[in-house]
Each structure stands twice: as C-alpha cells, then as structure tokens.
Chain A
C-alpha cells in the first residue's frame, strides 16, 4: 500500500483551495538502472478523481510526464466547512489509494 496522500483544503470566503500531494515514484520507463544498466519499468499514476461529499467533480488522467510525488492544485466555489473531499488514484500496476479530508 502506498503512503497516504497529503490533502489540504483552505477556505477563503466560499472558495476552497485544494492541494493534494500523492506519494508515488512516477517512473517513466525511460530511465536505466545506474548499476545494472537495465531499464527501470514504468510505474506511474494513470487516473485520479476528486469527489465532493460523494459526488465526482474531477476525473483526471495522467501520463508519465507528471513529476515524482505529484502535487495538484484545484479551486472550488461554494464550499463550506464540513464539506468532504475524497481523492482516489490508480496507477499502471492497478494499485490504488483513496484518502479524504474534511474542510475545517
């Protein structure tokens, strides 16, 4: 199981600034192991979604060009304290991780 995401939702008025950090190597498949010279197989997040109180508001697909330990930032309008964000990612190995945060 991958490490938990770090999710931060900061409210300014009714606009939420949502930032998420996913712990993932995002291996491109283009690099070679320095010692063995063998190619390092690709291992990267392909999809993630954001749900607000159980309703999907974002469907994202990502390629191997996203940096290691990806950080994404979003903004949402009409958010209030107590709203819950659930973020779920899936990588090319089929591994998946879901974390949530409640707007304070």
Chain B
C-alpha cells in the first residue's frame, strides 16, 4: 500500500502536479479565480439571488449605517444613478438588488486594502421597485432599502 502510494507520488502524481504548477493551472490565485456567480445573477427572484450570494434573507439586519443615495423618481429607467456608502466597521462587500427586475442582482463588490466601502453606479430598472443593498461586515449581513419610482422602464424595447 505504502509502496504503491510512494510510487504514484514519485512518478505520475508528482510529475503531473509539477506540470500543472508550471503551466500556472494550479497557481494559488487569491482573488482573481472567482468565477461569475451565475446562480446569484441569473436568479429571477430576490430569494434566489440571496441564496446564490450565501446571504439568507432572514439573517440580514436593517442598518441606518448603510446608506443608499438614489433619486425618488427616475425619469429614465435605463440610467438610474445609485450611490451606496457603508459606515459599518469592517465592511468587506456590498451587493445591489433591484427587487422587480427580471434578474434582481445588479452588482456585487468586494473591497480590500485602502478601498473605502462605498460605490456609485448606474443601473437599469424595468419598473418602479424597491432597491435593496446588502453589506457584509464581520461575517454578518446588513441591509437597507429604498423605493425608486420609474416613469419609463429601461429593460423593454
């Protein structure tokens, strides 16, 4: 048994591993390796998107320290400016969900180093909807919501 194992390690296994390492296939990339989170982004409802992110809705705690700055009425649903600022200590990620969009999850941002936990972006909104932002801080999820009224949708055509 041991001899077999040694043999495999010595010949095939070791060589293959070295080859993979050499080709950069097994390089321990810390962050870049993450693939697009299709289950979360392609989910058609908020619950599914939250599941995909690993954030069950029940765990998220409403927080006044997580601010979503956005217009109350968006005349053009194709371009709705949002600004999200988290004052929650140790915020490491922010997610943006537009509850009534065909696919609610719009973006997920992971911060590190000198990047402050805030982001501004422009999104498309199909119709008037609650916009929910989530912040991950110290392993806990916090949320904040705001309704944005849309007078002309941004997804049809």
List A residues at the B interface (Cβ < 8 Å).
15, 26, 28, 30-32, 34, 46-47, 49-50, 52, 55-68, 70-79, 92
Contacts and interface: CB of A to CB of B under 8 A. Distances in A.
Contacts of B107: 60-63, 65-66
B124 A65 contact: yes
B90 interface: no
Interface stretch (B7-15, B31-39, B55-63, B138-146): B31-39
Contacts of A57: 111-115
Interface string B115-157: 1101111111100000000000000000000000000001111
B156 A60 contact: no
B104 to A, nearest CB: 8
Nearest to B103: A63
A76 B122 contact: no
- Main SS class of interface, B: loop
Interface range for B: 35 or more
Highest count of chain B CB atoms <10 Å: which of A34, A52, A75, A77: A75
Contacts, number: 118
B91 to A, nearest CB: 13
Interface in B88-113: 98, 101-113
Contacts of B104: 65
Given A52-B114, A72-B119, A61 B37 contact: yes
Contact of A60 (B98, B110, B113, B124): B110
Contacts of B98: 65
A73 B123 contact: no
Given A28-B155, A47-B36, A65-B103, A77 B120 contact: no
A76 B114 contact: yes
Interface in B62-106: 78-80, 83, 98, 101-106
Contacts of A58: 109-112, 115
A67 B31 CA distance: 25
Contact of B79 (A32, A46, A52, A67): A67
A73 B119 contact: yes
A50 to B, nearest CB: 7
B115 A63 contact: no
Contacts of B30: 56
